[in-house]
Amino acid sequence: MKKPFSKTLIVVLTLLSFVFGCMPKEPDDLVSDSTSTVPLPANTPTSSPTPEPEPSLWWKDRVFYEIFVRSFKDSDGDGIGDIQGIIEQLDYLNDGNPTTDDDLGVTGIWLMPIMESPSYHGYDVVDYFQVDEEYGTKDDFKRLIDEAHDRGIRVVVDLVLNHTSRDHPWFQDAKGAESSQRDWYIWSEEDPGYRGPWGQQVWHFSGGEYFYGIFWEGMPDLNYENPEVTETMLESARFWLEDMGADGFRLDAVKHIVEEDALQENTDATHEWLEGFYTFYKDVNPDAFAVGEAWTSTEQVLEYTGDEVDIAFQFDLARAILDTSHDGDASPYMDEMANVVDSYPAGQYAAFITNHDQDRVMSQLDEDEGAAKVAGSLLLTSPGAPFIYYGEEIGMTGMKPDENIRRPMQWSGDNLRVGFTSGSPWRRPSKDFEERNVALQNGDPDSLLNHYRSLIQLRNDHEALRVGDWTPVDTGNESLVAFLRHTDTETLLILINASHEAISDYDLALSVGPLTGDASSRLLYGEGDLIEPEVNNGGDISTYKPLEELLPQSTYIIEFD
């Protein structure tokens, strides 16, 4: 069984070799030299200094796009997407020219795992210092970084800290009772008898003993009570930031990193370890960024934010966006957004609708394109750093198993290769590929793709949409979402009719706000003849109706001067 956890041990061993100037090892040495120790200088502090300079918070101005490399674009005809394929499609994401409007306009990319792995998904790593050969080479990745940066796109990579593959040489060696890497994983002579947070088996029999793996037996958990594990994983983070040029990380399953016996998520030990990791990667590069996946409630996600990861994904808000879009009821979104805004420092969270572990947006919305537009509008006009899952912008469908929500990107609808490959795709596209593809939607101004393009462009062009405050507006109609996004220099009113019916019975009311008595307005998005607001001296409005009728499942963005 694991020894009792020492909080001071993790912080000290996480930081000393790196922050206090010990020479880092070469990656190959780290894999083979498992008996190395970390020298401890005299008068070792027990807490971490604040890194200098402070992070630039560049991510608050970004729209991110999540890419499953295997499924985005195949450049060599083997049916598997690759890094070169992403490079070929960068102009689709952002051509680097702010005067054009035929690119999506995203300014950040999150790459799902690209490190060497035996599995199609890559979340069981066998070498943290290599690019999986199915995806390309280290030079390919470096070229992607250069090409992306030339277009104003930052790139973060998935870093799987919690566990490795059972095929990793570390684990294969650790199965020997006398192995020097035995303690890199978690072992027990007897089955401790408890199960995982969602009722799953977590203790797995091997060679007369049991090892711990929270997700399944193919992913044994690393033992972060062992300072050698911490040292090696920190060096892998340094490698991707310094040697490979990545801008940061998406950190998988952060709430599970350090267990305290049967307590397997959100432990004090995990929070302490992540504080050390944060200090480390900011010391490597103060501009580096990490977004964490802590699939839990808003209140618990908040605990990871700011001094453990820069931001974490907002799962409660994602659910609320789906509920409002599906049911045509504004309250789930308005209530949860108010909770998020009240809970976090301004914009310090990652907003999304669904990701690679969830049924796709269009499928959860019963293939209702109007509802998908509502969801996209809620995501892209709200505060926080928005993340779009590849294909979401064209309404790709897919329900579990996981392979079906990670199908090849549908670039065209001519045949089953869907413009993804010249060969046979690793998995067949969805049946609706002829109706939902980039080529078909490109020329349709009313398409979901162009809806996303327009909103991303507006977000890029308007500071208030990127980093402005969020102020709810009363509407008197349960289907109408209304809020202001505002900075000291700009105020926008967002109206989203989430229902299938036109709305004319509404009145906007705001008791206190940023408007002034001489405010005038213009329509940035949507159609109709605007009625000018009447603003009282205190900046409040009452019974304001900017448009006589709001069309079903429509979005309006109004700028006040």
* 531 contacts 522 by C-beta, under 8 angstroms: no
Nearest to 448 by CA among 489, 397, 414, 490: 397
List C-alpha distances in Å: 127 to 118, 158, 233, 456, 539: 10, 13, 11, 36, 58
Write out 37-62 in H/E/C secondary structure.
Answer: CCCCCCCCCCCCCCCCCCCCCHHHHC
Q: Which of 252, 272, 393, 469 is catalytic?
A: 252
Rounded-to-integer distance, Cα 33 and Cα 181, Å:
10
Rounded-to-integer distance, Cα 86 and Cα 75, Å:
8
Q: Which two tokens stand for residue 550?
A: 């709001």
Q: Is 549 a catalytic residue?
A: no
Q: Is 367 a catalytic residue?
A: no
Nearest to 73 by CA among 417, 394, 400, 395: 417
Rounded-to-integer distance, Cα 384 and Cα 377, Å:
14
One-letter amino acid identity for 118?
P
CB atoms within 10 A of CB 84: 18
* 165 contacts 128 by C-beta, under 8 angstroms: no
One-letter amino acid identity for 170?
W
Which secondary-structure segment (H or E) carries 339?
helix 331-343
Rounded-to-integer distance, Cα 379 and Cα 383, Å:
8
Phi, psi of 371 (to 5 degrees): -65, -35
Nearest to 51 by CA among 286, 304, 309, 305: 286
Phi, psi of 141 (to 5 degrees): -65, -45
Phi, psi of 492 (to 5 degrees): -125, 140
CB atoms within 10 A of CB 54: 9
Rounded-to-integer distance, Cα 494 and Cα 485, Å:
8
Which secondary-structure segment (H or E) carries 456?
helix 448-461
* 161 contacts 233 by C-beta, under 8 angstroms: yes
CB atoms within 10 A of CB 385: 26
Locus of tokens 């401790």: 192
Q: Is 262 left (phi over 0), alpha (psi -120 to 50) or beta?
A: alpha
Which secondary-structure segment (H or E) carries 64?
strand 64-67
Rounded-to-integer distance, Cα 331 and Cα 471, Å:
15
Q: Which of 247, 293, 392, 469 is catalytic?
A: 293
Instruction: List residues with catalytic annotation.
Output: 252, 293
